[in-house]
Amino acid sequence: MDRDLPRCLSEVNGFTESELAANRQYLIARSQVARLYGLALKPFQASLYTLLGWLVFLFVVKTLCPLQLFVLIEAAIGMSLFVLFAFITVGVLLAFVRDLFTSFGAITELIPDIIQGKAVCVEGRVSTSVVTEKGKGMAELHGENVDYYSYAIGNEYLPVTKEAYDALRPYSGSVFRVYLTPRSRLLLSIEPIKVRRSRS
């Protein structure tokens, strides 16, 4: 086994050795609670930042841009800036509301997990997975694609960062022990059991 792999997985997935020790006892460490809430709220946070950024942009445009500039831009693009901005604003608001409900659902599942303080363990072959989908918020309006990374174990796909994906990718298909929250199914920690490097 690569001696640096456990430390690397700890760093990129945001857990410590003491937290892993608590998870091995099927407990959620208190120090993990804030990170779990952050994971559950991540969709809402991304849309909130997009919405706030767009509102700031509208304020700056309304405050600083002269009317003559609007007329020139509208003549150049052949459409009303008011209609264009209204279309973008509606799209940003819809993405915000959608992600608000997504995070609300995740939080309602996470709260009982936090109160109970229990962790569950799943052991098996873990593979890295990446799915490219249409982006949300401003990225959706611009037709941009976004890569979503995850660890796949059994029928479950656990969202992770690109750094976490890259760290495990050379060992994709190896056996790991994965600790999760019971209802919300959020990743607490992961440790290698039987590791082999993939050829790809």
For residue 138, the model assigns a pLDDT of: 58
Residue 147 maps to a domain:
yes
Residue 108 maps to a domain:
yes
Residue 173 maps to a domain:
yes
SS3 content of the chain, % helix, strand, coil (to 5): 55, 25, 20
Residue 185 maps to a domain:
yes
| Containing structural domain, residue 27 | 5-194
Q: Which of 116, 113, 132 is nearest to 188 (CA)?
A: 113
Residue 174 maps to a domain:
yes
Tell me the whole-structure pTM to 2 decimals: 0.78
CA distances from 56 to 42, 43, 52, 70 (A): 21, 20, 6, 18
Residue 157 maps to a domain:
yes
**Over 60: is that where the pLDDT of 177 sits?**
yes
> What percent of the chain stands above pLDDT 90?
55
Residue 199 maps to a domain:
no
For residue 88, the model assigns a pLDDT of: 84
Number of H helices, E strands in the chain: 7, 5
- What is the phi-psi region of residue 137: left when phi exceeds 0, alpha when psi lies from -120 to 50, beta otherwise? left
For residue 157, the model assigns a pLDDT of: 94
Distance CA 191, CA 31 (A): 18
> How many domains would you assign to the chain?
1
**Over 90: is that where the pLDDT of 184 sits?**
yes
For residue 130, the model assigns a pLDDT of: 93
pLDDT in tens, 93-131: 888 898 899 889 899 999 999 999 999 999 999 999 999
Q: Please report which confidence band the pLDDT of residue 175 belongs to, taking 50, 70 and 90 as the band edges.
A: very high
